[in-house]
Amino acid sequence: MPIFKIKHITNYKYELPVRDSANQIILFPIKDDFQKVIQHDLNISGSPEIEIFIDYYGNEIGTFTQNEPHTQLKIFSKVSVETFPKPLPQDDMFSSEQWNSLDLMKYEVPYIDYLRQENFEGISQLKETAISIKKEEDTPYQTAIKYCAHVFNNYEYIKGITAVDTTIDEILKLKAGVCQDFAHVLTAMLRLTGIPSRYVSGYICPNRDGMRGEGATHAWAEAFLPEYGWLGLDPTNNCIANDTHVRLAVGRNFTDCSPVKGVYKGGFEHIMEVNVSVGYNDEDFNDNEIYFKPTEVNYSKPSGMATPSVRKQNSYQEHMEAIQQQQQQQQ
């Protein structure tokens, strides 16, 4: 079975010292029959005490604080994960029986959040599209596969065109986005036709064919199927999310699964760097600081500091920037 070596750094550099930093991390891979954590090293600058709990959705959450003034916060997660392939659904129940079974679940507590879709302007249009794709004889499994293919075929993968606060309406108009946006559209389509669906964050691991989203945090969806359970669907690559996908967290949307987020007191201006590397070999798991130097993904330019030559953006960073800005305004 494949064993993946994953390293994930988040590095904040503040223009002026900040204090009373309170942070939440979801960097602990899910542990179940199909995913085994062999080794996990987690290092945080200042060596704070990490309190760990399980949230409502079953995710392992870590929280820590940095009360003393500091100009840098570095979170270094290094994990070795073995994955096991999950058999595909047999899909041997009659279609009507499966849909009736799903209909009875709409009032069951574990599935209510995954069936309720927040309202948005284009919800009727998206529901019409979903219904038009689904044939009367299709099972939930066949329907989910069709919806995954629809998102893949009708939305263009373009980095930087969206942010974490981009709405589904904006995605529908753009017909483009990244893995997070594809996952949000797919979960909405599934929910609107009565299939419980949840958002998944994690990593996609490299293979010979190459996949969009490799070597970074990734997102996909899971659909709940009667007599089977949760089936992973990756609309960014139009495939079943199986043993090449490492799951970190599940929830209703990105907000429930954000790998790192936090608040602090002090100036807003700062640099944030993120780096994720995924490999198979032990050499990929060493502590070579040159190899594992984080790359800057976005920049809030402090006064008097030069603009860096490399400037990139991604939705993961945008989310944390937005949260911190909001919290600062409330201080």
pLDDT tens digits for 290-315? 344 443 333 232 222 222 222 233 44
Kindly report the average pLDDT of the chain as a whole number: 85
Q: Are 3 and 280 in contact (CB under 8 A)?
A: yes
Q: What is the DSSP letter of 269?
A: -
Q: Looking at the structure, do residues 247 and 119 belong to the same domain, yes or no?
A: yes
Domain count, the chain: 2
Tell which residue, 169, 230, 170, has the closest CA to residue 196.
Answer: 230
The answer as to whether 165 is a domain residue is yes
For 14, 26, 48, 60, 90, the CA distances from 51, given in Å and listed in that order, are 25, 12, 10, 10, 41
Buried b (16+ CB within 10 A) or exposed e, 194-218: ebbbbbbbbbbbeeeeebbbbbbbb
CA distance linking residue 83 with residue 36, whole number of Å = 6
CA distance linking residue 37 with residue 29, whole number of Å = 7
CATH number assigned to the domain comprising residue 175? 3.10.620.30
The answer as to whether 110 is a domain residue is yes
The reported pLDDT for the residue numbered 305 is 26
Q: Looking at the structure, do residues 28 and 101 belong to the same domain, yes or no?
A: no
The answer as to whether 220 is a domain residue is yes
- Per-residue confidence band for 316, with pLDDT thresholds at 50, 70 and 90: very low
**Phi and psi (nearest 5°) for 134?**
-80, 125
The reported pLDDT for the residue numbered 308 is 27
Q: Looking at the structure, do residues 270 and 246 belong to the same domain, yes or no?
A: no
The reported pLDDT for the residue numbered 30 is 97
Q: Looking at the structure, do residues 262 and 252 belong to the same domain, yes or no?
A: no
- Per-residue confidence band for 328, with pLDDT thresholds at 50, 70 and 90: very low
Q: Looking at the structure, do residues 234 and 262 belong to the same domain, yes or no?
A: no
Which pLDDT tens digit goes with each residue over 247-291?
Answer: 999 999 999 999 999 999 998 788 888 888 888 777 656 655 434
The reported pLDDT for the residue numbered 71 is 94
Q: Looking at the structure, do residues 126 and 142 belong to the same domain, yes or no?
A: yes
Which pLDDT tens digit goes with each residue over 139-160?
Answer: 999 999 999 999 999 999 998 8
The reported pLDDT for the residue numbered 244 is 92
The answer as to whether 269 is a domain residue is yes
Q: Looking at the structure, do residues 245 and 126 belong to the same domain, yes or no?
A: yes
Q: Looking at the structure, do residues 219 and 238 belong to the same domain, yes or no?
A: yes
User: What is the DSSP pairing of strand 156-157 with strand 176-177?
Assistant: parallel
**Phi and psi (nearest 5°) for 120?**
-150, 165
Q: Looking at the structure, do residues 71 and 101 belong to the same domain, yes or no?
A: no
The answer as to whether 90 is a domain residue is no
The answer as to whether 88 is a domain residue is no
The reported pLDDT for the residue numbered 314 is 40
Last residue of a domain, one of 256, 288, 314: 256
The answer as to whether 206 is a domain residue is yes
**Tokens standing for residue 175:** 């017909």
Backbone angle region of 142, left / alpha / beta, with phi > 0 → left and psi within -120 to 50 → alpha: alpha
Whose structure tokens read 């004889």? Answer: 137
Last residue of a domain, one of 256, 276, 295: 256
Q: Looking at the structure, do residues 207 and 266 belong to the same domain, yes or no?
A: no
Q: Which domain holds residue 216?
A: 95-256
**Tokens standing for residue 224:** 């709940």
Q: Looking at the structure, do residues 237 and 187 belong to the same domain, yes or no?
A: yes
The answer as to whether 232 is a domain residue is yes
The reported pLDDT for the residue numbered 103 is 95
Tell which residue, 322, 301, 215, 310, has the closest CA to residue 258.
Answer: 322
Last residue of a domain, one of 231, 256, 281: 256
Predicted TM-score (pTM) above 0.95: no
CA distance linking residue 298 with residue 295, whole number of Å = 9
CA 267 centroid distance within chain: 28
Question: What is the sign of the dihedral through the CA atoms of 14, 20, 24 and 25?
Answer: positive
The pLDDT of 126-150, averaged and rounded, is 97
Q: Looking at the structure, do residues 201 and 184 belong to the same domain, yes or no?
A: yes
Residue 55 has pLDDT above 50, yes or no: yes
